[in-house]
Chains A and B, each alone.
Chain A
Amino acid sequence: MIETHLPALIALNFLAFSVIIPLFGMWRVQWSQPLAVLGGGISAILSVYGFITYVNDTPLRYFFGAWEPPIGIEFVYDGLSAFVIMVINVIAFIVLIHSGPISVKEFPRKRMAYYSVAMLMMLGFNGMVLTGDLFNLFVFLEIASLSTYALIAIGEKPAPFAAFRYLIIGTAGGTLFLLGVGFLYTVTGTLNIIDMTAMIPEFADNRAVITGTILIVTGIAIKAALFPMHGWLPDSYTFASSSSSALIAPIGTKVAAYVLFRVILYLFGIEWADLVIPLTWIIGVLASIGILYGSIMAIAQNELKRMLAYSSVSQLGYIILGLSLANPYGFIGALLHLLNHAVMKACLFMVAAHIRMKEGHSDISRFNHTYRKKYPWTMFSFSVAAISMVGLPPLAGFFSKWYLALGTIEANSWVFLTVILFSSLLNAVYFFRILEKVYMKDPFADKEIPDDQAQPDEVKPSMLWTTLTFAAALFLIGIFNVAIVAVLLNIFPA
C-alpha cells in the first residue's frame, strides 16, 4: 500500500494535517504545533524511505485514481524529485520542531491558523516537486504562494506590507508562468511534461514555444528570486516572524529553483533549451550578477535577518549558476548546494530567532561579546554555519563550491569561476564581521560592556538541539559528500 502510493501519500499527508490541525486546534490550541510536527515527521520519514528505495530505480509514475494522462493527474517520483522532496521535508520537519517556543512568544493566538497554513504551504511545495504536468504545477505553485503570503504576513508591523508586495510580484510571476504554459499547450497539445519532452525536438524552434519558454523561466525566476527579480525577498524574510523565515527561507526559493531544473534540463533538455536563444547563458549571467549583488548588499545590512535574506539571493545564484553550466559537475554542485544552503540557511535563521527571542532584536551593531558566554551553543552553531557559508573545508559549503568550480572549469567559464571564488571572500566579510563582534571585546567601542555577570542563558532545549543538529549535519555532509554526490551523478539527465 505504502509502496505503490508513496508519492501521493507524501504530499497528501500535508493536506490531511492542514485539516486535522484546525479540528484539534479549536479545541486545544497548544496541540497545533505538535500536530504539525507529527505531519511533517510522517512526510519526512516517507520521503527518506522513498529516496533510499527508489533513487536508483526507473522513475515511478503515479496516476491518481488510475486515470492516465491526459485525463488524470500524474505525479512523477524520480531521482531528482525524490532528492528535493527529501531535503525540503526533512528540513521543514526540524524547523517545525524548533518553531514551538517562537510561536508561543510571537503569535500565541494565531498558532492554529499558522500551522494549518504551514501544512498547506508544504502541500504546495511537495506538489510542485512531484507533479507530472505543467498546469498542476501552476496550481500547486499558487497553493504554495498564497500560503506563503499568509505566513509572511504574520510577523512584525511591516510584515503585511511586505507580504502584499510579495503577493503583487509573486502573482505576476505566477501569471507569466501560466501564460507560458498556455503557449506551450497551444503548440504541443499536451500539458504532461513527459509527453511534451517527446515533442520538443519537433517544435524547439517554434516561436510560440520560445515565447512560452521565456515566460515560464521568467515566472519561475521571480519565485526563485533570481536577480533582478529578487525585490520581494529581503523585506519578506526580514519582517516575517522568526519561525516563518526559518521555514520559508531554506525551502521556498529552492523549490522554484527545482522547477527551473525540471523545465530546462528535463522538459527541454540541454541541447534544445539553447537552440534559438542562449537561455542557459542568460540565466548564468543573471545568477552571477545576483551572487555578487546579494553578497555586497548583505555586507551593507545592519539587521541580521535582512543580511541573511540578501545572502539567500546570492546563494540562490550559485544553484542557478550550476544549472546554467549544464554539465555533470555543475549539476552536482548545484544540487549539493541546494541541500547545503537549505541546512545552512535554516541554521542561521534559527540562530537569528534565538537572538530575537532573548535580546528582543537582531541588530548586528548591537551584538557584543557577552553573547559568547550567554549563548555558547547558539553561537557555536552560527560559527559552523557561517564558516560553511564562506566555504572553508571540511564543511559542507566547501564541497558544493568545489564541484561548482570544477563545473565552471569544464565549461571554460573563467568569469563564472572568478565570481564563485570572489563571492566567498564577500561572504567572509559579512560573516566574520559578526563573529568578531560576538567573540571579542570591541576595542573601538566608546564604553566597555562588562562580561563578568554574563551567565549561560540559552534558549529552550527543543530549539537548541535542532539548531545543533543542522550544525552537525554540515560536518557530516562535508565529510561524507561522496555518498550524496554518487547518487546525484546518477540522476544527471543525458
Chain B
Amino acid sequence: MTDLTLIPLYAVLVSLVAVPFILASDKRPNLREFWTILAAVIKFGLVLLLLPSAIQGETIELHLIEIAPGVPLALMADPFGVFFAVIASGLWIFTSFYSIGYMRGAGEKKQTRYFASFAVCLSATIGIAFSANLLTFVIFYEILTLATYPLVIHKENKEAISAGRQYLAYTLTAGLLLVAAAAITYYLTGTMDFQPGGVFGGLDLTAPLMVTVFLLFLGGVGVKAGIMPIHSWLPTAMAAPTPVSALLHAVAVVKSGVFGVVRVVGYVLGTDVMTAFSLHEILMVLAGITIILASLLAFRQDNLKRRLAYSTVGHLSYIVLGAALITPLGMTGGIMHIAAHATMKITLFFCAGAIYVNLHKENISDLNGIAKVMPWTMGAFVIGSMGLAGIPPLNGFVSKWYLAMGSLEGSMVIPVLILVISGLLNVGYFFPIIWRAYFKKGGPELEKHGEASPFMVVPIMVTAVLSILFGLFPNLFFHFFELASDISLSIFNGGTP
C-alpha cells in the first residue's frame, strides 16, 4: 500500500483490458457481462485506493513515455482528477447492472459492440480525469469521442445515424479547436502541464491573443460541456440507448467537458489571467444564458429523454458558472455540482429507461397514471427531480447553496437571481411529469404491467438513495465536500490548499 504510482495507469487500463474478453465472449452473454462488471468493480476499487492521498491534497504523478519532444504522456491523480474518477467509475458499476436489464429487456442487437465500446469509454474518461498535461488530455478526449460514436448510432436507424453524424461533426471540430489551443499554449508557455493556478503567470500577454486562446479552449471543451450555442448535439444524441444517455451523456462525456472547463480555467489559464482579460465574464454570460434558455427549452420537449437532456445542458452550466465566478466558494459549488448532478441525473435517466423498456412509453404526455404500476421507479424520479430543483435536503441543494454563496462572495447578484429562476423553472418542467404519473388516471394498457426488472430498479433505488445521503452528509464515504473545497482553494492559492 505504500507505492501507488502505477495505480492511475491500472485504473485507466483495466476496462481496456476487459475489451478483448468482452469481444471473445460474444456468444455467451452472461460471461460477457461478467467481464464488464468485474472491470467496473476493479476500476472503482483502484480509484478508491487513490482517494486517501487525494484527501490529503497529494498528487501522484506517473510519466509513461515521451509523446512529443519534452512532453510526456503523463498521468496524475490529483484531488480533482480523483474526485471525477470516483464519480465516473462508481456510477459505471450501477450502469453496468442497469445495462444488463435494459439491453436484454429491450432486446437490443449488437450488445457485444455496446459493452465493448462502453468499456473503452470508461478507460478514456478515467484517462481524462488523470491526464497530467494538455496533450494527454487531448489524446483521451479524442478516444472518448471515437468510442462514444458506436453507442450513439447503436440503433442504426435514420435518427441514430443522423445523430451520429451531428455528434461527430461537433466533437471532432471541438477536438481540433482544442488541439489549436493546446499548440498555442505550448508555444507561448513552453509547457503543457496542468498546474493549479495556471501556466501563463509572468508572461507578457495581449488581450486579443488571450481572448482567442480562451475561445479556442472554450470551443474545445465547451462542446462536450454543452454550453450554448454549441449544445445541440446533446439532445440529438438521446437517440442512443438509455444507459448511454445515463452514464455518458449525463456523467462521463459531458462531465469530461465541464471537467475540461475547470481544468482550463483553474490549471491552464489560471484565475489571474481569467480576470485580467475579463474572460470570466464571457464565460459567466454564456453559462447564465445557457442555464435559463435550456430550462425554457426543456418545457417544450414532450419526449422524456429530450427534456432530461435539456435539463442536463442547463445543469452543466451551473458547473461552468461555478468556474466563471472566480471565487473559492463558487468554485467549490461548481465542483460539488459535478457529483450532485451525476447521481440525480443518472437516476432520472434510469427511470426514463425503465419506463421505456417496461411500458414502451417515451413521451411525457403518455405517462398518465404510471406511478401506480411503477411505484419505486417514480418515487426515485421524484427524488431526483426535486434534487435538481435544489430542494433541501437533497444534494442539489448543497452545491447550489455554495454557488449562491460564491456569487455573493464576489459581490454579484445576477448569478444568484439566475440560480433562483432556474430552480423555479426546474420545478416547472419536472412537475407535470410527476403530476401525470401520480394524479392522472392511466389507460387500460397499464393493467398487465408491474415494476421493471430488478436489474433496473435496484440501481435506480441506489442512486436515488445516494442523492439523499450526499445531500444530508456531503462528506459521507468519499469526502466529496472536503475534496471540492480543497481543490478550489488549491486553484486560488497556486497549489497549496
A pairs with B: yes
A2 at interface, CB cutoff 8 A: no
Q: Closest Cβ of chain A: how far from B213's Cβ, in Å?
A: 11
Verify A443–B187 contact, CB threshold 8 A: no
A444 at interface, CB cutoff 8 A: yes
B27 at interface, CB cutoff 8 A: no
Please name 10 further chain A to chain B contacts, defined as beta carbons within 8 Å, in addition to the given A392-B142, A409-B184, A421-B180, sorted by A numbering.
Answer: A394-B139, A403-B68, A410-B187, A425-B169, A425-B176, A436-B165, A440-B156, A443-B161, A444-B158, A479-B67
Contact indicator per residue, chain B 61-99, by CB within 8 Å of chain A (1) or not (0): 000011111000000000000000000000000000000
Q: Bin chain B's interface residue count.
A: 20 to 34
Known: A425-B172, A443-B161, A444-B158. A405 touches B180 (CB 8 A): yes
Beta-carbon contacts under 8 Å, A409-467 to B: 409-410, 417, 421-422, 424-425, 428, 432, 436, 440-441, 443-444
Verify A440–B153 contact, CB threshold 8 A: yes
Contact indicator per residue, chain A 354-379, by CB within 8 Å of chain B (1) or not (0): 00000000000000000000000000
For residue B66, which residues in chain A have a CB less than 8 angstroms away from its CB? 482
For residue A394, which residues in chain B have a CB less than 8 angstroms away from its CB? 67, 139, 143
Verify B158–A443 contact, CB threshold 8 A: yes
For residue B164, which residues in chain A have a CB less than 8 angstroms away from its CB? 436
B168 at interface, CB cutoff 8 A: yes
B319 at interface, CB cutoff 8 A: no
What are the nearest 5 A-B pairs in CB distance? A393-B139, A421-B176, A482-B66, A405-B183, A443-B158
Beta-carbon contacts under 8 Å, A464-488 to B: 479-482, 485-486
Cα distance A402–B186 in the bound complex, in angstroms: 11
For residue B183, which residues in chain A have a CB less than 8 angstroms away from its CB? 402, 405-406, 409, 417
A19 at interface, CB cutoff 8 A: no
Query: B69, B172, B175, B180: which contacts A486 (Cβ < 8 A)?
Result: B69
Q: Closest Cβ of chain A: how far from B441's Cβ, in Å?
A: 38
Cα distance A406–B183 in the bound complex, in angstroms: 6
A168 at interface, CB cutoff 8 A: no
A347 at interface, CB cutoff 8 A: no
Verify B68–A481 contact, CB threshold 8 A: yes
Known: A390-B172, A393-B138, A410-B187. A443 touches B69 (CB 8 A): no
B142 nearest CB neighbor, chain A only: A392
B187 nearest CB neighbor, chain A only: A409
A353 at interface, CB cutoff 8 A: no
Contact indicator per residue, chain A 385-400, by CB within 8 Å of chain B (1) or not (0): 0010010111000110
Name B's A-contacting residues (CB within 8 A): 65-69, 138-139, 142-143, 145-146, 153, 156-158, 160-161, 164-165, 168-169, 172-173, 175-177, 179-180, 183-184, 186-187
Cα distance A421–B177 in the bound complex, in angstroms: 8
Known: A409-B183, A443-B157. A402 touches B68 (CB 8 A): yes
Interface SS majority for chain A: helix
A52 at interface, CB cutoff 8 A: no
Verify A482–B172 contact, CB threshold 8 A: no
A198 at interface, CB cutoff 8 A: no
Cα distance A417–B182 in the bound complex, in angstroms: 13
For residue B168, which residues in chain A have a CB less than 8 angstroms away from its CB? 428, 432
For residue A399, which residues in chain B have a CB less than 8 angstroms away from its CB? 67-68
For residue A402, which residues in chain B have a CB less than 8 angstroms away from its CB? 68, 179, 183
Q: Closest Cβ of chain B: how far from A329's Cβ, in Å?
A: 9
Q: Closest Cβ of chain B: how far from A236's Cβ, in Å?
A: 31
Number of A interface residues, CB 8 Å? Answer: 33
For residue A436, which residues in chain B have a CB less than 8 angstroms away from its CB? 161, 164-165
Cα distance A479–B139 in the bound complex, in angstroms: 11
For residue A443, which residues in chain B have a CB less than 8 angstroms away from its CB? 156-158, 160-161
Give 17 CB contacts A-B under 8 Å.
A390-B172, A392-B146, A393-B139, A393-B143, A394-B67, A401-B179, A402-B68, A405-B179, A428-B168, A436-B161, A443-B156, A444-B161, A481-B68, A482-B65, A482-B68, A485-B68, A486-B69
A489 at interface, CB cutoff 8 A: yes
Q: Closest Cβ of chain A: how far from B152's Cβ, in Å?
A: 11
Query: B142, B158, B165, B186: which contacts A393 (Cβ < 8 A)?
Result: B142
Cα distance A485–B180 in the bound complex, in angstroms: 20
For residue B145, which residues in chain A have a CB less than 8 angstroms away from its CB? 392
B159 nearest CB neighbor, chain A only: A443
Cα distance A392–B145 in the bound complex, in angstroms: 10
Q: Closest Cβ of chain A: how far from B134's Cβ, in Å?
A: 11
B184 nearest CB neighbor, chain A only: A409
Q: Closest Cβ of chain A: how far from B193's Cβ, in Å?
A: 17
Known: A406-B186, A409-B187. A479 touches B175 (CB 8 A): no
Verify A441–B156 contact, CB threshold 8 A: yes
For residue B142, which residues in chain A have a CB less than 8 angstroms away from its CB? 392-393, 398
Cα distance A245–B117 in the bound complex, in angstroms: 35
B186 nearest CB neighbor, chain A only: A406
For residue A486, which residues in chain B have a CB less than 8 angstroms away from its CB? 69
Cα distance A399–B69 in the bound complex, in angstroms: 11
Which residue, of B65, B157, B183, has the highest number of chain A Cβ atoms within 10 A?
B183
B185 nearest CB neighbor, chain A only: A409
Cα distance A440–B164 in the bound complex, in angstroms: 12
Verify A479–B65 contact, CB threshold 8 A: yes
For residue A432, which residues in chain B have a CB less than 8 angstroms away from its CB? 165, 168
Cα distance A452–B168 in the bound complex, in angstroms: 29
Cα distance A489–B66 in the bound complex, in angstroms: 15
A332 nearest CB neighbor, chain B only: B69
Verify A425–B180 contact, CB threshold 8 A: no
Q: Closest Cβ of chain B: how far from A485's Cβ, in Å?
A: 6
Verify A489–B69 contact, CB threshold 8 A: yes
Q: Closest Cβ of chain B: how far from A386's Cβ, in Å?
A: 11
Cα distance A489–B168 in the bound complex, in angstroms: 35
Cα distance A376–B338 in the bound complex, in angstroms: 40
Verify B153–A424 contact, CB threshold 8 A: no
Which residue, of B65, B68, B161, B176, has the highest number of chain A Cβ atoms within 10 A?
B176
Cα distance A418–B292 in the bound complex, in angstroms: 33
Query: B69, B161, B169: which contacts A482 (Cβ < 8 A)?
Result: B69
Query: A392, A422, A441, A489: which contacts B175 (Cβ < 8 A)?
Result: A392
Verify B187–A481 contact, CB threshold 8 A: no
Cα distance A428–B67 in the bound complex, in angstroms: 24
Verify A482–B187 contact, CB threshold 8 A: no
Cα distance A399–B135 in the bound complex, in angstroms: 11
Verify A421–B69 contact, CB threshold 8 A: no
Cα distance A399–B138 in the bound complex, in angstroms: 12
Q: Closest Cβ of chain A: how far from B113's Cβ, in Å?
A: 9
Cα distance A482–B139 in the bound complex, in angstroms: 16
Q: Closest Cβ of chain B: how far from A250's Cβ, in Å?
A: 25
Which residue, of B66, B69, B146, has the highest number of chain A Cβ atoms within 10 A?
B69
For residue A387, which residues in chain B have a CB less than 8 angstroms away from its CB? 146
Q: Closest Cβ of chain A: how far from B159's Cβ, in Å?
A: 9
Cα distance A481–B180 in the bound complex, in angstroms: 20
Cα distance A148–B183 in the bound complex, in angstroms: 40
Cα distance A406–B65 in the bound complex, in angstroms: 20
For residue B169, which residues in chain A have a CB less than 8 angstroms away from its CB? 425
Cα distance A486–B67 in the bound complex, in angstroms: 11
Cα distance A249–B321 in the bound complex, in angstroms: 52
For residue B157, which residues in chain A have a CB less than 8 angstroms away from its CB? 443
For residue A409, which residues in chain B have a CB less than 8 angstroms away from its CB? 183-184, 187
Verify B184–A421 contact, CB threshold 8 A: no
Contact indicator per residue, chain A 282-317, by CB within 8 Å of chain B (1) or not (0): 000000000000000000000000000000000000
For residue B180, which residues in chain A have a CB less than 8 angstroms away from its CB? 405, 417, 421
Cα distance A401–B180 in the bound complex, in angstroms: 10
Q: Closest Cβ of chain B: how far from A412's Cβ, in Å?
A: 10
Cα distance A428–B145 in the bound complex, in angstroms: 13
Q: Closest Cβ of chain B: how far from A339's Cβ, in Å?
A: 16
Known: A393-B138, A394-B139, A405-B180. A481 touches B172 (CB 8 A): no
Cα distance A182–B153 in the bound complex, in angstroms: 61
Q: Closest Cβ of chain A: how far from B403's Cβ, in Å?
A: 35
Q: Closest Cβ of chain A: how far from B173's Cβ, in Å?
A: 6
Verify B172–A428 contact, CB threshold 8 A: yes
Q: Closest Cβ of chain A: how far from B233's Cβ, in Å?
A: 15
